[in-house]
Structure 1
Amino acid sequence: MRSIPLGNSTLQVPVVAVGCMRLNSLDAAQAQRFVQGALDLGANFFDHADIYGGGECESVFADAVGMSPSVRERLILQSKCGVRPGMFDFSREHILASVDAILGRLRTDYLDVLLLHRPDALVEPDEVAAAFDQLEREGKVRHFGVSNQNPRQIELLKKSVRQPLVANQLQLSITNATMITAGFNVNMENDAAVNRDGGVLDYCRLHDITVQPWSPFQFGFFEGVFLNHPKFPELNATLDRIAAQHGVNSTTIAMAWLLRHPAHMQPVTGTTNLERLGDCVRAADVHLTREDWYAVLLAAGNTLP
């Protein structure tokens, strides 16, 4: 699969990441087929979080891949920490303990990437920096990033954190595209002009932070998948039309729509269906024209001023 550098690092990653949030819904044989199938597709970047399945998803993954030193060399592993029941926690103690637990469940000595999962209102940047420094010094984490953070939150961390923040995982799809559409409506007197994220897309591009869209096929907040959904007839008709032109299906075109953006994003899939994952991976070889990209945007109900 085509690859890109993650942020401003030297780490080359596939343009489509495999999300492991639902891996514990599979039995052992199914999980092994899915993970091995992903590797056969060239999808060797696996996105985890310590809250996925209460940590079970990481254990299921380690079993499914048959973790060993030789297997580990083929993998790029990312996980997230900072979410606790009823709170968020970016304290030094919690970050360090979380990473040790993650490494234990994944049966590995290091993570390629660690992301802070959701912004902690009580964050002390010096504590985050101390945790990152220790994890880097001990060889437990090689690259660091954030998830669901706006530019000011990132800048606050950067007051103390010296490591480059290489990724920001954010909700983005064709139907959840305010990150993109707010840029059309600067200074306009309409709802689309509301800046809900501090211009995070442009910020990430300016600072060489890779945007990792999560829920790339969802509308609303986990309300459902827009593909073949009766709520989006025009969007699905447009996706089907463009898909026919490329000899692929609508899943591939919806993923290619994200990959077409010049921010060089790395979408994170959520499927445990190997065929659907293959459809996502095929998007790496599809390049949408400017006309088709805008046609998809508008078919989802987005408007231009």
Structure 2
Amino acid sequence: MAQTMPLEQRGITASRIALGCMGLGGGWQAGALAEEHYDQAERAIEAAFEAGITMFDHADIYGRGRSEQAFGEILRRRPELRERMVLQSKCGIRLADDRHAQRYDFSKAHILASVDGILERLHTDYIDILLLHRPDALMEPEEVAEALTALKASGKVRHFGVSNMHAGQIRFLQQALDMPLVANQLDMSLYHLDWLDHGVLVNRRSGEAVGFDQGLMEHCQMNNIQLQAWGPLAQGRFSGRSLEGEPEHVRATAELVARLAREKETTAEAIVLGWLMRHPARIQPVIGTTNPDRIRACADAVRQSELMTREEWYDLYNAARGVKIP
């Protein structure tokens, strides 16, 4: 395996795991922030540092802005924490309102306004990485490039990436930019396996139904684009969540994860993340829990990724598929 992450090769000192902050600020519920929300954010940040996690992932829509606000209040109270962090946020999704349906917006005006809002909520002068959240069908790459160039020149954003984009969309956008796209955040986990199956099932009829872009993994690896995994813990399916109503292969996978955790004297979370991080693409999991105990339970994942054998990796993959590989 390569020894460094693509982000590190871009000069970004990021932890192997990032903490996703969508659950902060009371989630999607409306209402004013209270002290309990700030306490939750501070506990999550401290637990992340204890687990060796120094990168934090946001989006302007999380909690309708409340997630960034709760996190930003901790930075306002403790500004010394900022230099210990890599901060990433996203923009481009506009939620439904009284007049309009949900839509995507990569217009220059919206991107610039979104970043100003992000910086204000996070109480910081800059963010390290801005991701374009979901592909905008009306995207005009030259207009996006104008926005990103202005943000870079102003010092408000240091690096840029995308989320949920396929290889063609990345190439289409990149040709208009004079700066590299450094990350692509995708739904990848031991439960959501399309990112693997699309390659394994080449020349198989079963592969025709796989909903993942052919060549995306390879494109990102060849172009030094950091693959980030959202939902990497699979909502706790393999690390203690109730499996009532889940299919048999999910239960069997959870049992295998538990056995490996016992044998290796580690946590189920470390096995699940370690499996993902064992892939040579050097995938960076973005864990979504805000529970301090679960955050700390992820601390051993880097070591487990290094210890995991090829046989253990394929045992987990086959179990999670529910059908053996060809």
TM-score (norm 2): 0.87
Once the two structures are superposed, what CA deviation does each residue of 1:147-203 show, in whole Å capped at 9, x if it has no partner? 000000001101211211110000011121111111111111224664632321111
Cα deviation code 1:113-139 (max 9, x no counterpart): 000000000000001100110000000
Gaps of 5+ in 2: 27-35, 96-101
1:144 counterpart = 2:160: yes
Q: How far does residue 64 in structure 1 lie from its aligned partner after superposition? A: 2.7
Distance 1:152 1:7 in 2: 25
**TM-score normalised by the chain length of structure 1:** 0.93
Are 2:88 and 2:129, in contact at CA under 8 Å, matched by a contact in 1?
yes
* Within-5 A mapping of 1:281-292: 281-286=299-304, 287-292=307-312
Aligned to 2:257: 239
The CA deviation string for residues 30-82 of structure 1, in whole angstroms up to 9 with x for no partner, is 32222122223321100000000111111100123445553211111000000
| 1:4 Cα deviation from its structure 2 partner | 3.3
Q: State the shift of 1:238 in Å.
A: 0.9
Structure 1: 4+ residue segments shifted above 6 A: none
Q: How many residues are paired up? A: 300
- Contact 1:78–1:112 at 8 Å: present in 2 too? yes
Gap change, CA 1:260 and 1:242, over 3 Å in 2: same
Q: How does 1:291-302 map to 2 (within 5 A)?
A: 291-300=311-320, 301-302=322-323
Structure 2 Cα separation of the partners of residues 253 and 82 of structure 1: 34
Aligned partner of 2:297 in structure 1 is: 279
- Equivalent residue, structure 1, for 2:286: 268
Q: Secondary structure at the match of 2:125?
A: coil
For 1:28, the equivalent position in structure 2 comes to 38
Distance 2:207 2:122 in 1: 44
Q: Contact 1:20/1:46 (CA < 8 Å) preserved in 2?
A: yes
Q: Displacement, 1:280?
A: 1.4
Go from structure 1 to structure 2 and tell me whether the alpha carbon gap of 1:104 and 1:65 turns closer, same or farther (over 3 Å shift): closer
**Matched residue type, 2:150:** Q
Question: Which consecutive unaligned segments of at least 5 residues does structure 1 have?
Answer: none
Distance 1:290 1:266, change over 3 A: same
When structure 1 is superposed on structure 2, of 120-129 and 250-259 the one drifting more is: 250-259
1:17 aligned partner:
18
In the TM superposition, what are the counterparts of 1:163-182 in structure 2 within 5 Å?
A: 163-182=179-198
- What SS class does the counterpart of residue 213 from structure 1 fall into? strand
Give yes or no for contact 2:164–2:186 (8 Å, CA) kept in 1.
Answer: yes
Task: Supply the distance in 2 between the matched residues of 1:207 and 1:261 (Cα, whole angstroms).
Answer: 17
Q: Which amino acid in structure 2 is aligned with residue 169 of structure 1? A: Q
- What is the root-mean-square deviation in Å for CA atoms of aligned residues? 1.9
Which of 186, 203, 206 aligns to 2:222? It is 206
* Residue 76 (structure 1) aligned with residue 100 (structure 2): no
For 2:213, the equivalent position in structure 1 comes to 197
